[in-house]
Amino acid sequence: MTNKLIGQYPDKSGHFGCYGGRFVGETLMAALADLENAWNDASKDVVFDRQFREMLANYAGRPTPLDFAERLSEHVGGARIYLKREDCAHTGAHKINNVIGQGLLARRMGKMKVIAETGAGQHGVATATIAARFGMSCKVFMGAEDVRRQAPNVLRMRLLGAEVVPVTCGTSTLKDAMNEALRYWVAEVEDTFYVIGTVSGPHPYPVMVRDFQRVIGDEARRQALEQIGRVPDLLVACVGGGSNAMGLFYPFLDDRCEMLGAEAAGEGLDTPRHAASISGGQPGALHGAMTYLLQNDEGQIHEAWSISAGLDYPGVGPEHAFLHDLGRVRYAGITDREAVEAFKLLCRYEGIIPALESSHALAAAIKEAAGRPKEQAVVVCLSGRGDKDLDHVTAYMKENKLWP
Amino acid sequence: MDTKGLFMNRIDAAFANLAAADRKALVAYLTAGYPDFDTSLEILKQVCGAGADILEIGVPFSDPTCDGPIIQASSETALKSGMSLSKSIELAAALRQSVETPIVMFSYYNPVFRYGVKRFAEEISRAGVDGVLIVDLPPEEAGDLVEALAGKEIHIIRLAAPTTRPERIRMLAGGAGGFLYLISRTGVTGTGGLDPAAIALHAAAVKKVCPHPVCIGFGISNSDDARALAPLADGIIVGSALMRVLSKADDFAAIPALAAAKIRELRVGMDAAGMCAKS
């Protein structure tokens, strides 16, 4: 790469090229300006940084390992596959990194009420976790359909003291949970901190969440240099909103290193049942940012569809939209079936039960590795553990003759 | 470039006439295409006849994050009946055939962006629209829209919220045209809990720095609210309360008359306030 990207984006008003920005009602503008100021201060403060690092180490259990998947690599018969084991972090997914950061920031701003939206429930659980740790009150908005699909995570949130608010408007999934969280925030904006779970939403959320998540890539880069002796040839991560992907990719943007974002192709990109906003969408403004969206010609948002509740969202973080247009990162669709097959392979060959979201990344990595020589190294972000998905996956396997 | 003061359109004329008559503006929001195109057109006509001074035609959107349950539901109904931005513009054009009431197109940004901001500006200009209010498009992101509307004699209506700080109110008011939409309290459309004392303070502060008329909206549901708030500014905006009444109708044919009755009820409240102020 000749043009440097790290530290160059977004611009002062939160734009990544023509994406990002701040598309919200006037009532939220002051709160976003306050958040931006607080974040700017905190990100230059060594005390804040130390608190963040200490909690990542002692509470979240970082660094997470970079783990060579030897048997899986042999089975695939191509490039060596390494797993960045975010499933080993506290709460079982990378989501904890971001909520530690936002939780510390909320506390610093004197806001002891937090709200969050959640799809699969991982970000809801992470937010409830940090709220319990900091003694904050916590409300989590979750689509009624997801409350049903992700019952174990609903129980976890309630055990952690959070109130789970089922959202029944629209399609009753993640998009509607975010709509409802934004509506609640507009009403309670004076004393409530909205913990957004991905690199999406109005500025400064996309850059702030990316900076909290970049610990994934910073560690992976250091670990790759130690274990492989150089940066990997390819990085692969799943992309719903895209926070684990931005976290992994960002520190490598100026390296000679390919990157691939795996979007949820559901039942296929040629069907209406998918969640691949970049591969199958058009630019538009939703939930505070300009980005790629699943929508019709008149700008009405489509329902997204994926076997994985965490990828079931009709938009994507604006920095991904930007990196796609630049050609710096490739994005490809992985179907439900491909994801479940990869899920099964990782269980059998490595003794790791991955989240369905992460299984999309794994499937993409396996396809890529198969066509590459053994000298190459592929790093996959294993963004979360799959315990939450067991009922869903086993039912799918039985229905589609993939069991056992 | 901003649009203030360069032209006078139906909105400016309406406020001038109201001021001369010592009356306040009643701005009526109606979801375009609720419950269907034809009924929606008839509702808009009758609302004008019943005493609405300015119409806000709301383009239905799949994800109305600034709206409460009533306008969410009316938007969903309208979308199911086949409504869209292009049909909302058709509706405005059809209405303009028979009424001279100022029309404001109210929308979220995505339908406008997807349609093409330039194309949108040209078509609403041809349709006889007088103002545009994009609820999730702050001035910082509105460059394309301002450019597309240049020379079109259409005002960009801006909003100010209780959370908006004084220096920003000056910026918003300076760049706005037509009138400034003052949000009565934090929250989405259609929920109650108005605090007239707080609104009075806020409205007075805003009026001091705003060169345009100021209208208060969000949470105004009956003639008592109208009576309490109309004297604080140059007008009031009613949306959810109106849509709530319409949603109670047994059949579509009954809706236009219900809408007109609600407008008359609010008008009576506002005009009573005017009389009290004078006596």
pLDDT value of position A47: 98
User: Does position A129 have pLDDT exceeding 90, yes or no?
Assistant: yes
State the Cα torsion A32-A54-A210-A206 to the nearest 10°: -10
pLDDT value of position B272: 80
B110/A299 CB distance under 8 A = yes
Cβ contacts of B187 on chain A, cutoff 8 Å: 27, 183, 186-187
The residue of chain A nearest to residue B70, with distances taken between CA atoms, is A169
Distance CA B29, CA B189 (A): 11
Structure token pair of residue B9 = 């359109």
Distance CA A11, CA A17 (A): 8
Q: Is A370 on the interface with B (CB under 8 A)?
A: no
- The mean pLDDT value of chain B amounts to 93
pLDDT value of position A1: 46
For A117, the 3-state DSSP assignment is strand
| Confidence class for position B277, pLDDT limits 50, 70, 90 | low
Residues in B lying within 8 Å of A, measured between beta carbons: 61-69, 72, 76, 79, 84-86, 108-115, 135-138, 140-141, 158-165, 168, 172, 183, 186-188, 191
Mean pLDDT of B262-272: 91
Residue A265's nearest CA partner among A254, A248, A281, A243 is: A281
Residue A279's nearest CA partner among A266, A267, A287, A269 is: A269
pLDDT value of position A257: 97
Mean pLDDT of B232-239: 96
User: Does position B4 have pLDDT exceeding 60, yes or no?
Assistant: no
| Annotated domain spans of chain A | 25-57+95-209, 61-92+214-399
State the alpha helices, DSSP H only, in chain B.
10-20, 37-50, 69-80, 85-96, 109-115, 117-127, 143-149, 166-175, 196-209, 223-229, 240-247, 255-278
Name the percent of chain B lying above pLDDT 70: 96
The residue of chain B nearest to residue A282, with distances taken between CA atoms, is B114
A40-51: per-residue pLDDT in tens?
Answer: 999 999 999 999
More confident residue, A148 or B91: B91
pLDDT value of position B193: 80
A362-388: per-residue pLDDT in tens?
Answer: 999 999 999 999 999 999 999 999 998
Structure token pair of residue B253 = 């044919």
User: Does position A239 have pLDDT exceeding 50, yes or no?
Assistant: yes
Tell me the nearest-neighbour CA distance from A357 into chain B, angstroms. Answer: 25
Between B61, B85, B135, which is nearest A25 by CB? Answer: B135
The residues that bridge with A140 in the sheet, in sequence order, are: A116, A164
| Single-letter code of the amino acid located at B247 | S
pLDDT value of position A143: 93
User: Does position B126 have pLDDT exceeding 90, yes or no?
Assistant: yes
| Confidence class for position B173, pLDDT limits 50, 70, 90 | confident
The residue of chain B nearest to residue A296, with distances taken between CA atoms, is B114
User: Does position A7 have pLDDT exceeding 50, yes or no?
Assistant: yes
| Confidence class for position A173, pLDDT limits 50, 70, 90 | confident
B141/A188 CB distance under 8 A = no
Structure token pair of residue B33 = 């295409």
- The mean pLDDT value of chain A amounts to 96
User: Does position B279 have pLDDT exceeding 90, yes or no?
Assistant: no
Mean pLDDT of B154-166: 94
B140/A295 CB distance under 8 A = no
pLDDT value of position A63: 98
Which residues contact residue B238 at a Cβ distance below 8 angstroms, ignoring those fewer than 6 apart?
B26, B27, B28, B29, B217, B220, B221, B226, B262, B266
Cβ contacts of B137 on chain A, cutoff 8 Å: 23
* Phi-psi category of residue A89: left, alpha or beta, with phi > 0 → left and psi -120 to 50 → alpha: beta
Q: What is the 3-state composition of chain B as percent helix, strand, coil, each rounded to the nearest 5?
A: 50, 15, 35
pLDDT value of position B269: 87
User: Does position A14 have pLDDT exceeding 70, yes or no?
Assistant: yes
| Confidence class for position B2, pLDDT limits 50, 70, 90 | very low
Q: Which residues numbered 21-50 in A keep a CB inside 8 Å of some CB on B? A: 21-31
- Lowest average pLDDT, out of A355-359, B42-46, B169-173, B270-274, goes to B270-274
pLDDT value of position B274: 66
Q: How far is C-alpha B81 from the geometric centre of its chain's CA atoms?
A: 23
Helix axes A215-227, A205-213, angle to 10 degrees: 30
Tell me the nearest-neighbour CA distance from B142 into chain A, angstroms. Answer: 10
The residue of chain A nearest to residue B167, with distances taken between CA atoms, is A30
Is A95 annotated as catalytic?
A: yes
For the domain covering A61-92+214-399, report its CATH number. 3.40.50.1100
User: Does position B178 have pLDDT exceeding 80, yes or no?
Assistant: yes
Tell me the nearest-neighbour CA distance from B110 into chain A, angstroms. Answer: 5
User: Does position A335 have pLDDT exceeding 90, yes or no?
Assistant: yes
pLDDT value of position A105: 98
Domains of chain B: 10-272 (3.20.20.70)
A192-219: per-residue pLDDT in tens?
Answer: 999 999 999 999 999 999 999 999 999 9
Tell me the nearest-neighbour CA distance from A36 into chain B, angstroms. Answer: 15
pLDDT value of position A171: 80
Q: Is A190 on the interface with B (CB under 8 A)?
A: yes
B10-39: per-residue pLDDT in tens?
Answer: 999 999 999 999 999 999 999 999 999 999
Distance CA B211, CA B224 (A): 28
A286/B110 CB distance under 8 A = yes
Distance CA A213, CA A94 (A): 8
Q: Please identify every residue of B annotated as catalytic.
A: 56, 67
B183/A27 CB distance under 8 A = yes
ipTM field? 0.95
Name the percent of chain B lying above pLDDT 90: 84
Q: How big is the A-B interface in CB pairs under 8 Å? A: 121
Which residues contact residue A107 at a Cβ distance below 8 angstroms, ignoring those fewer than 6 apart?
A134, A136
The residue of chain A nearest to residue B86, with distances taken between CA atoms, is A298
Mean pLDDT of A242-260: 98
Cβ contacts of A28 on chain B, cutoff 8 Å: 163
| Fold that domain A25-57+95-209 belongs to in CATH | Rossmann fold (3.40.50)
Name the percent of chain A lying above pLDDT 70: 100
Tell me the nearest-neighbour CA distance from B240 into chain A, angstroms. Answer: 15
